[in-house]
Structure 1
Amino acid sequence: GKKRRLAQLLDEEQQRELEQELEEERQLQRPPAVQPCQPILHKEIMKLCELNENVDIANSRAVFQHLNYAFTNTTLFKICQANSWLPNLWVSTEFQHVIATKGESLNPFLRPPRWIVVYRNQQLILLSPFEANWLMGRLPSNESPITTLRLLLPRTKRIQSIFVNTPTLTVPPLIRFANDNNVNFLLPNDWLVQLFIFNGTLYFETVEEQTAFCQCLSLCPKPRTEASKDAFEKEWIAADGFVANPEHRLSLQLHQSRFHSNPLGFIKQLIENRNNSPLPIRSHVGSIILNSTKLI
C-alpha cells in the first residue's frame, strides 16, 4: 500500500512538473519570424563625407527625417511629442527600416542609436550600422573634422563612457586637430540629453547633464529651492515634478524646456523598451521619473 501510494505521489509530482514545463514553453514561445529589410545606401549618405558639397538634409526627406520618425509603427509614436525634439536631430530612413514584414508592431524592433554623424558641426544624424560602416571607411581621409562619425552608448552604469565626445574615438579622430579650437567640437548638453532620452540612458556624469535633462522635460523635482517649494505649494509643480504652465516654467527658470505636455509615461516606456527591463528607481533617471527626486 505504501509503495503504491508513493508511486502515485511521484506520478502526481511528475505530472505537475510536466505541466509547469509546458506552461513555461508556452510563455517562451517566440513571435513569428520576420523578414529583415535589405539595406540601401543612398547617394545623400555618401555625400556626407564630401567637403565640397553641402547635403540639403531638410529637403531630402526620402533619406532624412526628424527623430520622431524613428517611432513609426510603434506604440510610442503618438506620445513622443514630435515637435519637442531638436530640429537639428535627424534619423536616416534606413535607421528606421528594420523589418520588411508588414503588419507587425515595431516596438521590439526599435533600433538603438549607436552611430551618429555630426554633420558640419550643426546637424546630428542617427545612422544604421550599414550606413555607418560605409562612412567609416571614407571619413578618416578627410582633412577637416567638421563632419565626424561618432559612437554613442547609453550610460547604464554609474561610471561609464558614452564615447560620443571622446576625441580619440571620432572618425576622423578629433585628437588630430587638438590645436584647432574651432573644429574640436563637443556635443553640448542640450543636444546630449535628447540623445540620452532616445537611447535609454539611466545615469548622468555631471550635475549639468541632470539639470539639462530636467529642463528639457519641464521637470522641477526634489530637492527644491525655497522658490520651487513655494511654487509646489501653489500647485505650479505637479506631484511628479512636471510644470505644465509656460508662464510658471519661465518663473522657475526652465528656459530650455522642450516637452510641453507631461512626458513621464512616454519616457518610462521608452527606457524600458531600450533596456528590456523595468526602469530602476535607484538610477539617476529612474529616481527623477518615478520618484521626482534628483540624486546628484
Structure 2
Amino acid sequence: MVYRRPDLRRALSERTLSGSSWTSYSPTSAYVLVDTLSNEKAPLPADSAYFTTSESKAKMLTRLRGSNNNLHDGITDQQQLHKKKEELVASIGRKLEILRAEREAIKEEMRLNQELGTEVTSKVEARARLAEAEKYKLHVEEIDKITSLLLGLSGRLARAENALIMLVDDADPEEKRILESKRDKLSEQLEEAKRLKENIDRRAIQVSKVLNQYLTEDQYADYDHFIKMKAKLIMDAREIDDKIKLGEEQQQALRETMFKNP
C-alpha cells in the first residue's frame, strides 16, 4: 500500500499575533491538567453508576435520554421476543466486525501519518535552529495531548451526569453531593481544556510562520496534512473504540436476558 499525500492548500494563517512572538512560546498547562486528572480520587461507593457505566454507554444514554424506545413495545409473545433478541445479537455482531475492521484501518492510517510526521520533523531539525525545532516538536506533542484530554474529559463528564440522573430519590445525600462536585469540576476542566486548545491553535500560526522559512511548499503541505490528520485520527479512533465497547455491552446484556428468560 502506497501512502499518497493529497495536494492540500495551506490552512494555517500566517498573520502575526499581536503581543506574541515565537520566542515567547511556552508549554501550556495541559500537561498539569492531565496529571491532575490521572491522580483524581473520588470517595464514591463501588456500585455507583459513575463506575459501573462506561463512558461510551454514558454518552449514549445522555443522547437518548427521554426516548421511549423499548425492545418490548408491541411484543407480547415470549418466543417472538426471544427471536427478536437473537436477531439483535446477530445484527450487533455484524456491526462489531465492521467496526473492528475500521479500527485496524485507522491504526494503519495513524502509522502512515506518523511516518509522514517523522519525515517532516527530520527536515525541520536539519534546517531550523535548535530552539525552533524543539518548539515545533513541543507543538506537535501538545496537539496530541490536548485532543486526548478533550475526549477524556467529555467522556468523564457524561459519566458523572448520567450517574446523577440515575440516582434514586432516596439516594445517599453524600453520594449525590460528591457526584455534583465531580460534575462541576469536570465541567470546569473541560472549559479550561477548550481554552488551552484555543491557545494552541493560536500558537500554530507562529509555528506556521517559522516552518515557511525552512520548508518548500510541498514540504509544508506535508506538515499541514500531518497535523490535521493527527488530531482527526485520534478522534476517529476514540469514536470507533466507544462504538465497539457499547456494542459489546449491548450484546452481552441481550445474551444475559436471553439466558435468564429463554
Shared fold, TM over 0.5: no
Which of 1 and 2 has higher RCO (CA within 8 Å, sep 6+)?
2
Q: Compute the TM-score of the two structures, normalised by the length of structure 1.
A: 0.22
Q: Compute the TM-score of the two structures, normalised by the length of structure 2.
A: 0.24
Q: More helix by proportion, 1 or 2?
A: 2
